[in-house]
Amino acid sequence: MCHQSVGLIARHAEAAGIPTLCMGSALDILQAVYPPRAAFLDYLLGHTTGKPFEPELQRAILLEALEAFSALTQPGQIKRLPFRWAEDDDWKDGVMNDGDTRTPRQDTPQYQTEADRVLAEQNNPEACEVCAVSA
């Protein structure tokens, strides 16, 4: 769904005169939303711009992706980036095959840590529901 949202934003920005490039690791969703320019990285979701703590790989991926700005000359083209997640593609078999792995959706801020919450509520008193009630 992230890919869909990003594709819609890219279409809007491009129509407003800003050349865009959407990266992505879900090829079918990219094709469906059909953004102006895209670069497809055939990786496990959650790694759209590389693997953790591999800055040389991250750099190589971004260089290949950015090259799409000059390589793609027609609207709607997708450049396939020359990287593989693993030596074999067995990881693809297990993707989305184990029920609903999403965490339940919540309408309150989902802080990564409790310290983040404390700091954010100090900085943004209006965002703190408990403070708002007691104020």
Rounded CA separation 31/126 (Å): 41
- Indicate the residue among 101 and 134 with the shorter CB distance to another protein: 101
Segment 68-107, which members bind another protein (CB under 8 A)? 69-70, 75-76, 88-90, 92-93, 95-97, 99-107
Q: Does residue 29 contact residue 9 with C-beta atoms inside 8 Å?
A: no
**Token pair recorded at residue 92:** 């693809």
Closest among 80, 133, 95, 127 to 108, alpha carbons compared? 127
Give me the least distance between CB of 110 and another protein, in Å please: 4
Residue 112 touching another protein (CB under 8 A): yes
Rounded CA separation 67/41 (Å): 14
CB atoms within 10 A of CB 33: 19
Give me the least distance between CB of 134 and another protein, in Å please: 18
Please pick, from the candidates 114, 115, 130, 135, the single residue that binds another protein as defined by CB under 8 A: 115
Give me the least distance between CB of 135 and another protein, in Å please: 17
Segment 20-59, which members bind another protein (CB under 8 A)? 20-24, 26-29, 32-36, 40, 42, 45-53, 55, 58-59
Give me the least distance between CB of 121 and another protein, in Å please: 8
- Indicate the residue among 46 and 134 with the shorter CB distance to another protein: 46
CA distance to 67, 96, 102, 127, per residue, from 74 (Å)? 14, 33, 36, 45
